[in-house]
Copies of this chain bind each other. A is one copy, B any other.
Amino acid sequence: MKPGFSLSYYVDGVLSGNRVVLGQAITLVESFLPKDQENAGAVLEKILPDTGKSIRVGVTGVPGVGKSTFIEALGLYVVRQEKKIAVLSIDPSSPLTKGSILGDKTRMEELSKNPNAFIRPTASGLAIGGVANHTREAMLLCEAAGFDVIFVETVGVGQSEVSVKKMVDFFLLLMLAGAGDELQGIKKGIMEMADAIAITKADGDNIKKASEAQADYQHALHLFSTPDSGWKPKVLTTSALSGDGIDKIWKVIQQYRDQTEKSGYFDQNRSDQNIAWFHDCFDQLVRADLSQHQSVRSNLISLEEEIRQSKLSARSAAQQLLDRYHQAIQKP
């Protein structure tokens, strides 16, 4: 352990719900330094028995859909039900300015002051897979710190939604009514991952349009088969301004939990997610391991170039890369 790191400081702090230590622990798991990673692994191992008790909710939607105000409204509602909530935000658009979206201090102002709420951006870091792992681990730390509901927020325009879907129990997609489909920039597959779609800003003149959009999306969802969960995705309308529909969304999440816990899907899904995560971690470790060997790294680049020029088949290239990798491990 590096000087200054104390396993019990992190573990005891997190388990007692100390928000400062929780924040430090999340910083630790986000670190790419090998020593930090090792320490983070030790902390996670210790808190593991105290994880898994929350409901994990993914929330996505394009910029402008009103994600922050929605999460603030829903978050405040849930906090009033005597629950502790954590909001983990992923901002894939700002890999360099760590957590830039939270630079905006007015974001979730009321919620962020609430003692039962914890809001934290996740650095986008290097790879999407990497981000997902950091967020997953941040989620575990929040659970160990006693949070009952974890919201994982993404921007809804990129690949990160798929990663988030793989780590949450319930996936909520926010949509605007009548914004024009192209404007909404819904990427392939995102709509189909949703356990619920909420049409936001359903207030004032917008109410009628929101109801129409609700019918439209309900129809579109109806075209797809029932997902493995056995849950039929719901479409709702909501307004963070008037508060309309916020309670219904929370009720739908509760219904989902009840139904899938009863069917056994809830636990099965988490178990499957963990196994898939393990394999993802392993693939990432191998990839990181490859690039640690100079000879393998340069081999990879030249193989990709040969493939692009149709000089080499994928099969042969993969075999050559594996051979080179073996050599590097045998003679470091």
Distance between A143 CB and nearest chain B CB, rounded to angstroms: 11
Q: Which of A12-20, A67-75, A222-230, A258-266 interfaces with chain B?
A: A222-230
> How many A residues have CB within 8 A of the partner chain?
65
Q: A281-B318, A316-B41 are in contact. Are A225 and B311 (CB under 8 A)?
A: no
The answer to whether A186 and B225 touch across the interface, beta carbons within 8 angstroms, is yes
Question: Given the known A-B contacts A275-B307, A315-B281, are A322 and B217 also in contact in the complex, defined by CB atoms under 8 Å?
Answer: no
Cα-based distance from A181 to B224 in the complex (angstroms): 7
Q: Using an 8 Å CB-CB cutoff, how does the interface string of A182-196 with B read, 1 for contact, 0 for none? A: 101111110111000
Give the chain B neighbours of A121 by CB distance below 8 A. none
Report which of B184, B225, B285, B304 forms a contact with A225, defined as CB distance below 8 A.
B184
User: Residue on B with the closest CB to A276?
Assistant: B314
B191→A223 contact, CB < 8 A: yes
Nearest B residue to A51 via CB reads B310
Q: Contacts of A49 on B, CB cut-off 8 Å?
A: 310
Q: Is A94 positioned at the interface, with any CB of B under 8 Å from its CB? A: no
A sample of 15 more A-B contacts (CB under 8 A), given A277-B314, A282-B318, A285-B318, is A45-B312, A45-B316, A49-B310, A51-B310, A187-B225, A188-B189, A192-B192, A216-B223, A220-B223, A278-B317, A280-B314, A281-B318, A289-B322, A326-B329, A329-B329
Interface residue A36 (Cβ < 8 Å from any Cβ of B)? no
B-side contacts of A51, CB under 8 Å: 310
Q: Which 7 A-B pairs have the closest CB atoms?
A: A281-B318, A282-B318, A278-B314, A277-B314, A188-B192, A189-B189, A44-B313
**17 A-B contact pairs sorted by A residue (CB < 8 Å):** A44-B315, A44-B316, A45-B313, A45-B316, A48-B313, A133-B314, A181-B223, A186-B225, A187-B225, A188-B193, A188-B225, A219-B219, A219-B220, A278-B314, A282-B322, A286-B322, A330-B330
Q: A319 is contacted by which of B136, B225, B285, B321 (Cβ under 8 Å)?
A: B285
**List of B residues within 8 angstroms of A314 by Cβ:** 133, 136, 274, 277-278, 280-281
A302 CB within 8 Å of chain B: no
Copies of the protein in its oligomer: 2
Within the assembled complex, what's the spacing in Å between the Cα atoms of A49 and B306?
12
Is the C-beta of A303 less than 8 angstroms from some C-beta in chain B? yes
Residues in B neighbouring A219, C-beta threshold 8 A:
219-220
Instruction: Judge whether A212 is part of the interface by a CB distance below 8 angstroms.
Output: no
- A residues 108-138 with Cβ under 8 Å of B? 133, 136-137
Closest B residue to A217 by beta carbon equals B223
Q: Taking A188-B193, A314-B274 as contacts, is the C-beta distance between A182 and B226 under 8 angstroms? A: yes
In the complex, whether A283 has a CB less than 8 A from a CB of chain B is yes
Given contacts A182-B226, A225-B181, contact A274 B329 (CB under 8 A): no
Q: Which residues of B contact A312 (CB under 8 A)?
A: 45, 48
Say whether A271 faces chain B, with CB atoms less than 8 Å apart: yes
A308 at the interface (CB under 8 A from B): yes
